[in-house]
Chains A and B, each alone.
Chain A
Amino acid sequence: MEHAAAAGHGHGAEDHVAEFEKARLGMWLFLASEIMMFGAFIAAYVVLWTSAPVQVEGGPTTAFDKHHLSWKIACFNTAVLILSSFTMVKSVHAISKGNRGKCEDYMIATAALGALFLCVKGYEYALKFGDNIGPDTNVFYGCYFLMTGFHGIHVLVGVILLIWCAFYVKRFDQHHYAPVENLALYWHFVDLVWIFLFPIVYLL
């Protein structure tokens, strides 16, 4: 990884690299717990989904009727999150080269894309509530609001952290940027969750 270029720079550089590795390892362990949490949601969804009768076109409404969902809105949001993952990795790349300006620019772009995702998600929720669809409509929408809601909260936390990190970007350089790296890991994880939610919830 780019941060390893710190090795061999000045006194205590090896200790610094070891500390950086520990920070990343800690973040990966945290993400493992997040995998379990979202994994439990998805497992519950799959169990309920595979237990429910198949929704037939023109047939009676089932517990997994999701005709009101818009895959086009979700597809747009997928593109937004994928693009935000790219800007995030570019931000890490920039700070690993010591370029604070570019790091900050890419970080703000990531936060803006995250905010756009939330706005679109809010619009989607508003459409559902406008059609009197809520978490208690049927089993599917209970799962839908739970999974996308928790994911949305993670995006919101990520956007707040990105703005905070962009504000303090002057504290980081090519040898000290563990918070940027860990924030990037978190943000990519949020993207990962959506990569699975999009086909499972909207397409299949």
Chain B
Amino acid sequence: MSDAAAQDHSAHDHSKTYVNVLLALAVLTFVTVAISRYHFGRVGNIGVGLAIATVKASLVVMFFMHLKYEQRWWAGIVLFPLLLVMIIIGSNLPDTALNGKSHGGDMLLDPEPSIKHAGKAGPAH
């Protein structure tokens, strides 16, 4: 971080911030579990679950890991590999979750597996 930012940051006592983040993480964990009891559809549940997890992760990264007080470009060290992971997942979706579109099924609701290997407990094909 820059000297100016460092001096500004070091002048504060972060104890209260840490307690607030802890409480926020506890509440968000409770919300994650509570919301998973409801059914918003497969896409809805996945979206809400991952959105809350992302908020929790951001709180940990920004405040517990102090990224908020580091040089801004350091955020790229975290975001770039995350972007690559998103590309890996996203590039496979047309062949997996989205393949129901090709024969009129709903996204992520197609009951037909596109990979027909399923271990011991999988459907017999």
Contacts and interface: CB of A to CB of B under 8 A. Distances in A.
A199 B115 contact: no
Interface size class on chain B is 35 or more
Contact of A139 (B22, B61, B122): B122
B122 A62 contact: yes
A153 interface: no
Given A39-B82, A62-B121, A195 B57 contact: yes
**Looking at chain A's contact residues, is the secondary structure mostly helix, strand, loop, or mixed?**
helix
Nearest to A60: B123
A63 B113 contact: yes
Contacts of A199: 32, 36, 49-50, 52-53
DSSP majority for the B interface?
A: helix
B101 interface: no
Contacts of B10: 1-2, 4-5
A15 B121 CA distance: 60
B81 A138 contact: no
Interface residues of A, number: 63
A23 interface: no
Given A195-B60, A199-B52, A200-B49, A50 B96 contact: yes
A79 B23 CA distance: 11
B120 to A, nearest CB: 6
A200 to B, nearest CB: 7
Interface of A: 1-2, 4-5, 7, 17, 21, 24-25, 28-29, 31-33, 35-36, 39-40, 42-43, 46-48, 50-54, 60-63, 65, 71, 75, 78-79, 82-83, 85-86, 88-90, 93, 136-139, 142, 184-185, 188-189, 191-192, 195-196, 198-200, 203-204
